[in-house]
Amino acid sequence: MESTYISGILKQFKYYKTIGDRTFEQLNFEDMNYQPNEASNSISVIVKHMVGNMLSRWTNFLTEDGEKPWREREQEFEASYTSKDELIAAWEKGWQCVFEAITPLGDSDMDRIVYIRNEGHTVAEAIFRQLGHYPYHIGQIAYVGKLMKGDAWESLSIPKGNSASYNATKFNKPKGRKHFTDEV
């Protein structure tokens, strides 16, 4: 039997991945490397950091510490992608690792203990930790993308000025059990 918790968790992660995907579709590689100042990260660097985190946290998720000895976190903040295709391939590899680790989990796994830097977390806590971390960075990615595109930006959610019509459409449908990402 499929776990409703795991199903909902996967839908949330897939939704956030889609926000990143839809941002990347609107940008060229130069846009992805825009850095407003020395203290800020470009989209390219944010992706590199996220991928490093994903591979470290989710590889052998249940049996190894989430901070792998092979992870070079400081290097994640140095731009190194040479093309948009390379960046997207890394992004996809990171997400594949996330989904492959979460998909086989069941409700009974949620209370198991996993470690991140020797600190014990229940599986649920470790998942929620990443459900906070990844959207934080994806929000940064989308915001920089919107800055880069200006008026040419295609909204990733309800466009400004369309809330009333969006809500009217939603409230004209019968009530039902749905996940907000089902129609995304």
Asked whether residue 33 is assigned to any structural domain, the reply reads yes
Is 82 a residue whose pLDDT tops 90?
Answer: yes
Residue 163 lies in a domain: yes
Gap between the Cα atoms of 108 and 123, Å rounded = 10
| CA atoms within 13 Å, Cβ hemisphere of 162 | 9
Dihedral sign (CA 12, 124, 88, 40): positive
Confidence of residue 81 (pLDDT cuts 50, 70, 90): very high
DSSP-H helix ranges across the chain:
4-25, 29-32, 43-58, 84-102, 123-149, 163-171
Residue 45, in any domain of the structure: yes
**Residue 108 in domain:** yes
Q: Return the structure tokens found at 153.
A: 């930006």
Q: What is the pTM of this model?
A: 0.93
Predicted local confidence at residue 1, as pLDDT: 43
User: What are 128-168's pLDDT values in tens digits?
Assistant: 999 999 999 999 999 999 999 999 999 999 888 899 998 88
pLDDT at 183: 72
Residue 18 lies in a domain: yes
Give the pLDDT mean for 86-94: 98
Q: What is the CATH number of the domain that holds 166?
A: 1.20.120.450
Q: Which of 24, 60, 65, 55 is nearest to 42 (CA)?
A: 24
Q: Domain of residue 23: give its range.
A: 4-171
Give a yes or no: residue 179 inside a domain. Answer: no
181 assigned to some structural domain: no
- The yes-or-no verdict on residue 20 having pLDDT over 60 is yes
Tally of domains in the chain: 1
